[in-house]
Amino acid sequence: MNRSILYRITHWFIRIEELLLCVILLLLIVLSSYQIGLRWFASGGLLWIDPLLRNLVLWGGLLGAALATLSGKHIALDLVGYLVSDRLKQILDLTTTLFSAVVSALLLRAAWRFVQSEMEFGGPALFGIQSWVWFLIFPITFALITLHFITNLFLDPSGKKHPANLRYGKGEQT
Amino acid sequence: SFAAHVYKIASLAPEGSVWVTAFRAFAEEVDRNTAGEVKFKIYPGGIMGDDRAMYRKMRAGQLHGGGFTMTGAAEFVPDFRIMAIPFLFKSYDEVDYVREQLLPYLKGQFSNKGIELIAMTEVGFIYTFSAKPRTTIEELQDGKTWAPSNDPLTATFLQSIDISPITLTIPDVLSSLQTGLIDTAFNSLYGSIVLQWFTKAPYVTDQPYGYAYGCFSMSTRSLAKLNPEQLRVIENAAQTHFSELLKSTRQSNIDSRAVLAQQGVSFVKTSPEIVARLESHRDKTIARVKGKSFSETAYDKLEAALNSYRN
Amino acid sequence: MKSLFILLLALIGTPLFIVISAVTLLSYQQAGIDTSVIFIEMTRLGETPLLISLPLFIFAGTLLSESGTPQRILKLSQLLLGWLPGGLAVISLTVCAVFTAFTGASGVTIFALGGLLLPALLKDGYQQRFSLGLITSSGSLGLLFPPSLPLILYGVISETRIDQLFLAGIIPGTLMLILLSLYAIKSGPPHLPQEKTQSNFAILKETIWELPLPFIVIIGIYGGFLVASEAAAVTALYVIIVEVFIYRDISIRQLPGIMARSMVLFGGIMIILAASTASTNYFVDQEIPNRLFAVISQHIESKYSFLLLLNLFLLLVGSFLDIFSALILIVPLILPIAQNYDIHPIHLGIIFLTNLQIGYCTPPVGLNLFLAAYRFEKPILELYRASLPFLGLLVITLLLITYFPILSLGLIF
Ligand code: NA
Ligand code: NA
C-alpha cells in the first residue's frame, strides 16, 4: 500500500473527527448553559435539551475513543514495554494492534445486530427520529476503531511521523 | 439449577418491597406445582437496568420477563398508559372495574409485540408531595414541579396549566428535592416512604393526582417452550399472587398514611372548585394527546368502561 | 486458556477496553448471552445523567492547566499563607490539592505546578529529598475535594449521589492536608521572611477571576441552583470566558486543539467505562458478587477485617492501575460485597479513592513516582525514598478514614 496516500487519508480522518468533537463539546457547553438560563430566568427548560445532551455525550465519548485509537492514546497496562528491545517492542505492538482490530471487528458485528433489533422493535425517539438512527453511532464508532487499528498496523502510532503526532506532539501523555 | 426452564425476570422494585415479595411467592408456587420444572430467577432493584433496558434484554433473550412500570411498558405498548390520565378515577372500585374491562384489549396489544401481559400491578393513587402547601393552581404554578422522563401525559397536563415541568428520572428526584432544584413531586403514599421523598416534601395535597400502575410480562418466545399444563400453573399462580399483591399494595398505602402523619407530614385539603378546574384541564389534555400518546380505540374503550360503571 | 492468552496480551500493552471487551465477548458466549447485549449496556451508560459532567470538567481542567492559572494561584496562596512557619510547604500542598480537584489526578499537577514549586521550595531552604517527596505525594492530593473527576466517576459507577460524595470527601481530604502540613511545618527550615515583588492588592486583583471557581461548584450545587452536571457546564463556560477572553492566556485558535484533546481524553475513559458496564452485566447475570460474598464471608466475619483486606488489595491495585481503570474495573465487583458487610457506599467510595490516591505514589509502579522522575530528571529510587515519609502519613489517614466512617458520613447524616 502506498504510504503517503494512507498518511493523507489518515490526516483527513483526524481533522474530521476533531471537528466533530469540537462541535459536540461546544454544543454540550452552550445547550447546558442555555437550559440553566431558561430555568433561572424563564422558570422552565426545553424538554428536548436533556435527552439531546445525553445523546451528544455518547456520540462525543465514542468518537473521542475512535480518535484516541488513531493517536495511540488508549489507556493500557504495558508492564513489559519498557523492558524489551525496540525490535521486540515492535513485534509486540503489531500483535496487540492485530488483536485489537479483531476484537473491534467482533464488536462492530454485535453493534450492527443491536441496531437491527432497534430497527425492528424500537420506536420513535428524540425529535420523532427512530431510535436506531441515534444508535448508529455504535456501528460507526466500531467501524472507525477497527479501521484505525488496521491503519496503525501500517503507520506506527507511537512513531514521530504518525499524522496524529504531527498534530498533537508527544509528551503531554496524561 | 437443574430445572428444565429457568426464567430470568428483572424489576425496578427494590428487594423487600411488596412487589418483589409477592413475586417470590408466585415463583415458589410455580416451582412447587411444576415439580421444579419451571423456575424463576429474579433481578430486583434495577440491577438489570430500567424498563427500556429490560425490554431490549427480553428481545435479545438475556431476560425472559420483567416487572414494568406504566411509563416503561407504554414505550412499546402506548395504549398501556390509558389509565394514567390525571384526575380520572374516583376510587379503587372504579379502577378494578375498568382494568378488568380493558385487560383483554391490552393483552392483545402486548401479544402483538411478542410479549405476554401476565398480570397488572399497581403503585396506587398518587398524590402531590411538596416542600410548601400547594392546594391551588396558582400555588402549583409557583413551584418547581417534577415530571417523570418519558411521560407525555404528565408533561402535557402540566403544560396545560402553565407549568414547565423539570423532567428527571426517579433516582434523581430525592437529591433534587433536597437541593431545591424541584420542590413538588408525585408519588403514592407508600412510594414516598420507600423512596424517602416525604422527608424533603412534607406537604401532601389530599386529593389523588392520578393512578400509577405497572405490569408483569414475559416474552411470548420464552413461554412457547412450556406445555399447556405448565402454562396453566403459571396462570393460576399469577391469579392468586397478583391479586394478593393488589391487596397488600393497597394496605401498605393505607398504613402509610398513619406513618406519614406520625413523621410530621401534613395532609392539606384542596377545594372542589379547584378539582373541577383541573378536570377541565384533563379534558384539554386528552384532546391534545388522543391519537398520539394513545389510540382513539383505547380511549373509547376506557370511556365506555367508565360510563358503564358510573351509570 | 483463552483467558490466560488475553491476560498476556493485556500485559504487553493491549488497550484496556479491548482486553475487557474480549473477556466480555468470551463470557457472554459461554453464558449464552447474545453479544448485542453489550450495546444495550452502552445505551444504559448513555442514560447516566452524571456522565456529561466528565467531558465538561475534563475540558475545564485541561484549559486551566494550559493557562497561567497555576502561577496565579501560587502567588495568591503565598499572599494568604506566606506568614506561616513552613508556609511554602503548606502552600504547595494546598495549591496542589485545589488544582488536582479541578484537573483530576492525571499527573497534570506535577507537570503544571511541580515545575514552579520545586525551585521555590529549594530556594526557601527545604531539603531536596523533602521537596521531591512533597511534590510527588501532593500530585494526587485533592482527589477527595469537589469536583474531582474520580469522585464523579465513582458516583457514576456506583450510582450514589454525587452531592453526598462531594460532602463526604471534605473532612477526610482536609484531615490529610492537615497531617501533611503539620509534618511539613515540623521538618521545614527556619522561617525566612517572604520577599514580595507585588503588592497584596495587585495579587488579589490579578487572581480575582479565578477565585470564584471553587464556589461555582459548591454554592451552585448546595444552594440548589445547579445539579452536578450543570455545575460542570457553568464551570466550563466560565473557564473559557476567563482564560480566553479576560486573561487571554489561551488564544481562540488554540481552543479547538484543547477541546479535541479533552474529548479524546474523555473518550479514552468512556470506552473503558462502556466495556466494563457490559462485563458488569455478566457479573450480575451470573450473580457473581453474591457467590463471591458467600465464599469470602466463610473466612471473614467482621466488617473490619474485610476492610483491612480491602485496603491491602486496593493499595496493590492502585500501584499498578491508573485511577480510572481501577475504579471502573473494581467498584462494580466490590460494591455489592461491601454492602453485604454493611459498609455504606459513600464511605466505600472515600476508602477507594484514598487507596487509589496512595497507590499513585506507592513503589514500585505508582504513576506519580514516574511522572516526577521524568519531570525532574531524578532516578526513580531517589523518589521512592523521598516519598516514604509522606506515604506513611497518608496510610495513617487511610486507617482513620477506614475505621471512623463518621469522618466521611458525618457531614451527610
Ligand atoms: Na459499570
Ligand atoms: Na497507579
B174-213 tens-digit pLDDT: 878 877 778 999 999 999 998 889 999 999 999 999 999 9
Is pLDDT of B89 > 70? yes
pTM: 0.84
**Among C40, C164, C226, beta carbon nearest to B57:** C40
Using DSSP, state whether C82 is helix, strand or coil. coil
Ligand nearest to the CA of C321: 2
Using DSSP, state whether C175 is helix, strand or coil. helix
**Among C159, C227, C281, beta carbon nearest to B171:** C159
Per the listing, cell 527545604 goes with C126
Whole-number Å distance between alpha carbons of A70 and A148? 5
Whole-number Å distance between alpha carbons of B82 and B90? 15
Q: Find residues 115-174 of chain A whose CB sits inside 8 Å of chain C.
A: 117, 135, 138, 167-168, 172, 174
Is pLDDT of A169 > 60? no
Whole-number Å distance between alpha carbons of C214 and C231? 10
Contact A54 C16 (CB under 8 A): no
Whole-number Å distance between alpha carbons of A117 and B59? 8
Give residue A94's domain range: 3-167
Q: What domain count does chain A have?
A: 1
Distance from CA of B85 to the nearest CA of A (A): 20
Q: Find residues 40-79 of chain A whose CB sits inside 8 Å of chain C.
A: 40, 53-55, 57-58, 60-69, 71, 73-79
A14 alpha carbon – ligand 1 mean position (Å): 29
Determine, yes or no, domain membership for A157. Answer: yes
Whole-number Å distance between alpha carbons of C53 and C150? 11
* CB-based neighbours (< 5 A) of ligand 2, an ion: C 359, 367
Amino acid identity, position B109? Q
Distance from CA of B168 to the nearest CA of A (A): 9
Is residue B123 within 8 A of residue B180, CB to CB? The reply is no
- Percent of chain B having pLDDT more than 90? 81
Whole-number Å distance between alpha carbons of C134 and C141? 10
Determine, yes or no, domain membership for A36. Answer: yes
* CB-based neighbours (< 5 A) of ligand 1, an ion: C 276-277, 280, 332
Determine, yes or no, domain membership for A12. Answer: yes
Determine, yes or no, domain membership for A123. Answer: yes
Q: Find residues 99-118 of chain C whose CB sits inside 8 Å of chain A.
A: 106-108
Using DSSP, state whether A130 is helix, strand or coil. strand
Q: Does C80 touch chain A (CB under 8 A)?
A: no
The size of the A-C interface in CB pairs under 8 A is 198
Question: Residue A167 — very low, low, confident or very high, per pLDDT cuts 50/70/90?
Answer: low
Give the strand pairing for B115-130 and B266-268.
unpaired
Is pLDDT of A170 > 50? no
- Percent of chain A having pLDDT more than 70? 84
Distance from CA of C209 to the nearest CA of B (A): 26
Determine, yes or no, domain membership for A138. Answer: yes
Collect the ranges in chain C with pLDDT lower than 70.
104-108, 190-197, 364-365
Chain B residue numbers touching C34 (CB-CB < 8 A): 60-62
**Among C34, C163, C223, beta carbon nearest to B60:** C34
Determine, yes or no, domain membership for A172. Answer: no
Q: Does C42 touch chain A (CB under 8 A)?
A: yes
Residue partners of C233: CB distance under 8 A and separation at least 6: A28, A29, A32, A33, A36, C52, C56
Q: Which of B11, B55, B56, B149 to mutate to test the interface with C (most CBs of C within 10 A)?
A: B56
Distance from CA of A115 to the nearest CA of B (A): 11
Phi, psi of C342 (to 5 degrees): 70, 35
Q: Which of C8, C18, C66 to mutate to test the interface with A (most CBs of A within 10 A)?
A: C18
Helix (H) or strand (E) holding C396: helix C380-403
Contact B166 A117 (CB under 8 A): no
Helix H, strand E, coil C: the string for chain B is CCCCEEEEEEECCCCCCHHHHHHHHHHHHHHHHCCCCEEEEEECCCCCCCHHHHHHHHHHCCCCEEEEEHHHHHCCCHHHHHHHCCCCCCCHHHHHHHHHHHHHHHHHHHHHCCEEEEEEEEEEEEEEEECCCCCCHHHHHHCCEEEECCCHHHHHHHHHCCCCCEEECHHHHHHHHHHCCCCEEEECHHHHHHCCHHHCCCEEEEEEEEEEEEEEEEEHHHHCCCCHHHHHHHHHHHHHHHHHHHHHHHHHHHHHHHHHHHCCCEEECCCHHHHHHHHHHHHHHHHHHECCCECHHHHHHHHHHHHHHHC
Q: What is the pLDDT of residue A166?
A: 44
Chain A residue numbers touching B73 (CB-CB < 8 A): none
Q: How many CB atoms lie within 10 A of CB B274?
A: 17
Question: Residue B103 — very low, low, confident or very high, per pLDDT cuts 50/70/90?
Answer: very high
Q: Find residues 101-130 of chain A whose CB sits inside 8 Å of chain B.
A: 117, 121, 123
C49 alpha carbon – ligand 1 mean position (Å): 14
Chain C CA closest to residue B175: C161
> Which subunits sit against C, judged by 3+ Cβ pairs under 8 A?
A, B
Interface of B with A (CB under 8 A): 56, 59-60, 75-76, 113-114, 144, 155, 163-167
Whole-number Å distance between alpha carbons of C292 and C330? 13
Determine, yes or no, domain membership for A173. Answer: no
Chain C residue numbers touching A107 (CB-CB < 8 A): 21, 25, 38
Determine, yes or no, domain membership for A96. Answer: yes
C21 alpha carbon – ligand 2 mean position (Å): 22
Whole-number Å distance between alpha carbons of C153 and C144? 12
Q: How many CB atoms lie within 10 A of CB C411?
A: 14
Distance from CA of B35 to the nearest CA of A (A): 36
Q: What is the pLDDT of residue B30?
A: 96
Q: Which of C27, C37, C53, C411 to mutate to test the interface with B (most CBs of B within 10 A)?
A: C37
pLDDT in tens, B269-307: 999 999 999 999 999 999 999 999 999 999 999 999 999
Q: Which of B81, B166, B176 to mutate to test the interface with A (most CBs of A within 10 A)?
A: B166
**Among B53, B57, B179, beta carbon nearest to C163:** B179
Task: Select from C234, C203, C254 the least CA-distant residue to C66.
Answer: C254
